[in-house]
Amino acid sequence: MRIASVGTAYPSHRYAQPIIAEALRERWQHKMEEPRLLTRLFANCGVDFRHTVFPIEHYPSLDCFEKTNNEWIKAAVDLGQQAICRALDHAGVEPQEIGAIFFASVTGIASPTIDARLINRLPFPVNIKRTPIFGLGCVAGAAGISRASDYVRAFPKQYALLLSVELCSLTWQDDDQSIANLISCGLFGDGAAAVVIAGAETEVAKRGMGPRVLDTRSTFYRNTEKVMGWDIVNTGFRIVLSPDVPKVVEENLLGNVEGFLADNNLKREDISTYIFHSGGPKVLEAMQKSLSLPEGALAPSWKSLREVGNLSAASVLAVMESYLKEHPGEPGTYSILAAMGPAFCSELVLLQW
């Protein structure tokens, strides 16, 4: 089974980080003792540009959860369709050939889910198997690849599709000027990504398109549920973001990776590239430090962070797209795709090019 392709899609509104910082500073300055703190925090997020689903001046009108969630549904369907069409086109696969679709998001809710609404827009088979995933947050991109790979392992003649749409700007909270919310508003961006996973007996896999998925590993860290997540309040999603996130990464990632590789008769020196979720400067630094990676080892992840921000579940998929298009591994070499997120937990995917 192989990661055959990735397609990404972004809202048309794109802003430099200082423009977003100034707009939110003006919006919230009467609620903050030191409004300049917001500007300093935004400058330290490692983000140069971000996409937003609406023009920046439109957000004050989204004054309740009903409004923001309704807009999330509309935009998620549109962006999701764009990302899916690009992924299918890159792989040379038709919608009618997809056997299962997995949908991951943590920035809105819908029933029927976004994947169901897309089946009414695109000619997927009516007996397609659907698996909506909510609540995994940043880890859901890697976890979604794992679950889609599980599916095509069981059904090797089929293709599975993973879609993630994250519209983080719709979670901005006007009544929360906590450090956690300010960092969140400075770090997360809007975007979508879709991935085609090809079963081993499909034509795409037989052509050797994309890296093989050799194994996956989920790891749950007990009693860490307050490290990251959401509190659901009347106005929507209120961020839970502990300063301990980099510490949790640094303390656990190395052991997770080494144990995973040992079970596959590999060592860290066998891994040529690490395809990591762009969680933010401190998270990427913790990943680098934990694994003793050389300077530049996570350059595509840093680049994605600068150019579009942290896209939550979609981030690692956007980084994967960069590897497929610009940094493919040499035949026979190994990569690890990884993300971490709420619970707290990690997801590792072992790839071979």
Q: Which residues are catalytic?
A: 138
Give residue 265's identity as a one-letter amino acid code. Answer: N
Backbone φ, ψ for residue 315 (5° rounding): -60, -50
Q: Give burial (CB, 10 Å; 0-12/13-18/19+) of 246.
A: buried
CA–CA separation, 235 vs 225, rounded Å?
A: 22
CA–CA separation, 51 vs 194, rounded Å?
A: 17
How does strand 2-9 pair with strand 190-198? antiparallel
Give residue 37's identity as a one-letter amino acid code. Answer: L
Backbone φ, ψ for residue 215 (5° rounding): -165, 160
Q: Which two tokens stand for residue 43?
A: 């400058």
Residue owning tokens 């500073």: 25
Strand partners, 232: 237
